[in-house]
Amino acid sequence: MRTSEIHRATKETDISLSLNLDGTGAGTIETGIPFFDHMLTSFARHGRIDLTVQAAGDLEVDTHHTIEDIGIVLGTALAEAVGDGRGITRFADAAVPMDEALARVALDVGGRGYLVFEGGFSPVGPGGIPGDLIEHFFFSLCTKAGITAHITVTGRNDHHICEAAFKAFARALRAAVTVDPSIGDVPSTKGTL
């Protein structure tokens, strides 16, 4: 099974997360940030990844530590579940429209974490979350997961832009980690990711 369970506790957050890459899209998400719960639930559903997240953070300060640390833990769990990457498709992309918004995501699950994020949000941000923190979440996730991601978003409504980005990332991730029986080994000329 391509699964992972991680618990990470710091002075700022306490996060327990489990995932199954070969799931059905079931999600049980409780972060204390309703809009972010909605985004992670959408991520699980459209990536067909079973995902459980229980997070307690210093929300009295703001949402930064909780969202950043969930990105770190989710990225770590993804790297563990992918393992050596034997047989995965590795590269994938997806485009998701949501009314006036459009998100395009291209991924390489190749062991090197990197993020290019183009586009943005209004000063208020989606669901009361500063827009730059959404980008920072994906940066934290990609860095820990060893995923290179190019995310491009356009639109006028912050909710639509953000949700399209989470859905597109999830769909691209699902395709990239799909095992292709014709591959059989690690999809790299190096012999390792």
> How would residue 183 be classed by pLDDT, with cut points 50, 70 and 90?
confident
Sheet strands (E) in the chain: 3-9, 13-20, 27-30, 50-57, 91-98, 101-108, 114-118, 148-154
CATH T-level topology, domain 3-177: Ribosomal Protein S5; domain 2 (3.30.230)
Is the per-residue pLDDT at 74 higher than 90?
A: yes
- pLDDT for the residue 185: 78
Torsion-angle region of residue 5: left (phi > 0), alpha (psi -120 to 50) or beta?
A: beta
Is residue 124 scored above 90 in pLDDT? Answer: no
Residue 182: pLDDT band with limits 50, 70, 90 = confident
Give pTM, 2 decimals. 0.95
Say if residue 187's pLDDT is above 80. Answer: no
Assign 170 a pLDDT band (cuts: 50, 70, 90): very high
When pLDDT is cut at 50, 70 and 90, the band that residue 120 belongs to is very high
Q: CA 37 to CA 1: how far, in whole Å? A: 25
Taking only the tens place, the pLDDT of each residue in 75-103 is 999 999 999 999 999 999 999 999 999 99
**The pLDDT of residue 191:** 73
Q: Residue 192's pLDDT is what?
A: 79
